[in-house]
A = this chain, B = another copy of it.
């Protein structure tokens, strides 16, 4: 079960990385690739969920194994959602092709935001694979970095010096939202990793419920 979850996390990481490439390079072929690959992520979600249901029904797992299965049910939903969000990014890249959806004043911001989001997916997968609750715990801090990057985007698009179109501002607002949500799901996944390892969900305002 953990192996399959880590594999799914790897697919999601590739989706996020490729979506960013599609977005920042206005690369249509890569955008199409991310959008097509999302059905593979969804298919793995469905298969893994069925596997969890079957495990619960046939084996009535207890203790650590039960924790893994119930956490897996939640993690696969988060991973499928991250895949959808990567596809949303790719769809905006495709919609604006051959133009770039991200206007020049925000390229550096999105480059950084996308890197942080992708690293959060990697950390969530690695902490699950290595049963490392300490690494998983650090994800709530990365999430604050994402929030600050998003606030900075709003300052730019709503500032007096914004000289690009309404369309570009709307794209930025939605793209920022998609990356922020990818990060949120990585944090929720990390909370489940901590639960698998320790039996307790982390508490505090940086750990969202949903």
The listed residue (B53, B84, B170) touching A169 by CB distance below 8 A is: B170
Determine the distance from Cα of A53 to Cα of B210 in the docked complex, in whole angstroms. Answer: 16
A29 within 8 A of B: no
A177 within 8 A of B: yes
Knowing A66-B56, A177-B177, the reply to whether A210 touches B84 (Cβ < 8 A) is yes
Chain A contact residue count (CB 8 A cutoff): 35
A174 within 8 A of B: yes
Residues of B contacting A63 in the complex (Cβ-Cβ under 8 angstroms):
57
Residues of B contacting A174 in the complex (Cβ-Cβ under 8 angstroms):
173-174, 177
The listed residue (B77, B169, B170) touching A210 by CB distance below 8 A is: B77
Determine the distance from Cα of A73 to Cα of B195 in the docked complex, in whole angstroms. Answer: 15
User: Per-residue CB proximity of A70-107 to B under 8 Å, as 1/0?
Assistant: 10011001101100100000000000000000000000
Measured CB to CB, the closest approach of chain B to A142, in angstroms, equals: 20
Measured CB to CB, the closest approach of chain B to A76, in angstroms, equals: 8
Residues of B contacting A66 in the complex (Cβ-Cβ under 8 angstroms):
56-57
Measured CB to CB, the closest approach of chain B to A44, in angstroms, equals: 10
Q: Is the interface of A mostly helix, strand, loop or mixed?
A: helix
Knowing A42-B209, A169-B169, the reply to whether A70 touches B56 (Cβ < 8 A) is yes
Residues of B contacting A62 in the complex (Cβ-Cβ under 8 angstroms):
57, 60
Residue among A45, A173, A201 with max Cβ neighbours from chain B (10 Å) = A173
Residues of B contacting A52 in the complex (Cβ-Cβ under 8 angstroms):
70
The listed residue (B46, B67, B74, B170) touching A170 by CB distance below 8 A is: B170
Chain A interfacial positions (CB closer than 8 Å to B): 42, 45-46, 52-53, 56-57, 60, 62-63, 66-67, 70, 73-74, 77-78, 80-81, 84, 154, 157-158, 162, 166-167, 169-170, 173-174, 177, 201, 208-210
With A42-B210, A53-B70, A173-B174 known, 4 other A-B pairs at CB within 8 A are A57-B63, A73-B74, A154-B170, A169-B170
